[in-house]
């Protein structure tokens, strides 16, 4: 658990003449007694390099580091309700300069849109090629970054014209789910417990964090939103959101938005909550779902 003291030693049942032992935690040198207060969470590999009798042996062992914080529960208040296109299989939602942008999914139906959030009017729209299943989006420095699901490719557009500027390939993360940014780095989910940090200049994956509570990992991370220094993430199929410390992957808060689903028109194509957009001027969060006919503006408060 984060904050615990990791004590390392070598079992030596053969009483070998060990002359030196060095340890690494995920490739970084550590002492045999180390306080786990600055590491990221999740699966780690401890490596011990043991020297004895003019020989060198390398031993590895896997561990998991859990968070040392119990997540807080947040309640929400609906302050406004707006119309939302019931045919939109929402995958990404974000405000930029006061305008709402949306990415939708399903092959043959995937779109990139700019929407009047108060009326639901579509102000700008482009369709993705039929082979692509649209996923999350984020906007930074007048560029829209849009993910696709299983084609291992994302697209970059001019935010004003929707002209496609370039595309990029994924690295170790084979799928695209959600994406957000902190004005310096892009954060990308892939449907697991991992969130990948992308260099905005070349869109390569620099590193990743693993999202854990004090009990274990949180898989199926989907749409992401950066809000006041934290990452808010939808959990696929759960109609809930977790609040994540981006420095170590620790879950600090949970919001249950499940009751919102009962407030939208019930129909055969209705699917789960997906779509979080923070409006920095209004200090409110906008949420919707896949094929929901409503967009909810909410305020959250710790219980």
What residues does each domain of the chain span? Answer: 5-65, 72-302
Would you place residue 45 in the very low, low, confident or very high pLDDT band (cuts 50, 70, 90)? very high
Give the C-alpha separation, 31 to 302, whole Å.
39
Residue 53 has pLDDT above 90, yes or no: no
Mean pLDDT of 126-155: 95
- Confidence (pLDDT) at 103: 94
Mean pLDDT of 102-125: 93
Would you place residue 298 in the very low, low, confident or very high pLDDT band (cuts 50, 70, 90)? very high
Would you place residue 152 in the very low, low, confident or very high pLDDT band (cuts 50, 70, 90)? very high
Neighbouring residues of 217: CB distance < 8 A, sequence distance ≥ 6: 42, 193, 210, 211
Residue 287 has pLDDT above 90, yes or no: yes
* 196 CA to centre of own chain: 8
Q: What is the DSSP letter of 259?
A: G
Q: How far is CA 189 from CA 71, 194, 205, 222, 273, in A?
A: 20, 6, 11, 6, 16
- Confidence (pLDDT) at 237: 85
The architecture (CATH level 2) of 72-302 comes to 7 Propeller (2.130)
Over residues 240-282, the pLDDT tens digits come to 999 999 999 999 999 999 999 999 999 999 888 999 999 999 9
Neighbouring residues of 258: CB distance < 8 A, sequence distance ≥ 6: 239, 240, 273
Residue 109 has pLDDT above 90, yes or no: no
263-294: b or e for each residue (b if 16 or more CB lie within 10 Å)?
A: ebeeeeeeebbbbbbbeeeeebbbbbbbbbbb
Percent of the chain with pLDDT over 90: 88
Q: What six digits make up the tokens of 138?
A: 């984020």
Indicate the pTM of the whole model.
0.93
- Confidence (pLDDT) at 174: 85
Give the C-alpha separation, 150 to 134, whole Å.
10
- Confidence (pLDDT) at 108: 85
Taken in order 261, 262, 263, 264, is the CA torsion positive or negative? positive
Residue 158 has pLDDT above 90, yes or no: yes
Please identify which residue in the block is written with the tokens 């039929």: 130
Residue 54 has pLDDT above 90, yes or no: no
Average pLDDT, the chain: 94
Q: Which alpha helices (H) appear in 116-181, and where do they start and end?
A: none
Mean pLDDT of 64-88: 96
- Confidence (pLDDT) at 204: 95
- Confidence (pLDDT) at 258: 92
Would you place residue 238 in the very low, low, confident or very high pLDDT band (cuts 50, 70, 90)? confident
């Amino acid at each position: 658990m984060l904050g615990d003291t990791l004590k390392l030693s070598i079992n030596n049942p053969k009483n070998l003449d060990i002359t030196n032992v060095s340890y690494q935690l995920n490739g970084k040198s550590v002492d045999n007694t180390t306080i786990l207060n600055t590491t990221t969470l999740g699966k780690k590999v401890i490596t011990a390099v043991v020297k004895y009798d003019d020989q060198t042996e390398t031993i590895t062992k896997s561990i998991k580091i859990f968070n040392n914080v119990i997540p807080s529960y947040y309640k929400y208040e609906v302050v406004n309700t707006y119309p939302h296109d019931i045919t939109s299989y929402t995958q990404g939602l974000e405000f930029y300069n006061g305008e709402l942008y949306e990415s939708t999914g399903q092959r043959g139906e995937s779109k990139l849109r700019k929407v009047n959030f108060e009326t639901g009017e579509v102000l700008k729209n482009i369709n993705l090629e039929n082979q692509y299943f649209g996923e999350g989006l984020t906007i930074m420095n007048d560029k829209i970054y849009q993910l696709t699901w299983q084609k291992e490719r994302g697209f970059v557009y001019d935010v004003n014209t929707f002209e496609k500027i370039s595309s990029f390939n994924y690295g170790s993360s084979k799928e695209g789910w959600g994406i957000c940014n902190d004005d310096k780095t892009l954060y990308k989910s892939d449907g697991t417990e991992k969130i990948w940090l992308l260099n905005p200049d070349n869109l390569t994956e620099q590193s990743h964090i693993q999202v854990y509570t004090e009990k274990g990992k949180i898989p199926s991370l989907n749409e992401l939103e950066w809000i006041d220094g934290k990452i808010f993430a939808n959990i696929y199929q759960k109609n809930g959101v977790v609040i994540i410390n981006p420095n170590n992957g620790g879950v600090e808060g949970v919001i249950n938005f499940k009751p919102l689903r009962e407030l939208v028109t019930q129909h055969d194509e209705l699917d789960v909550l997906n779509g979080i957009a923070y409006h920095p001027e209004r200090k409110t969060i906008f949420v919707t779902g896949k094929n929901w006919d409503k967009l909810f503006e909410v305020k959250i408060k710790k219980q």
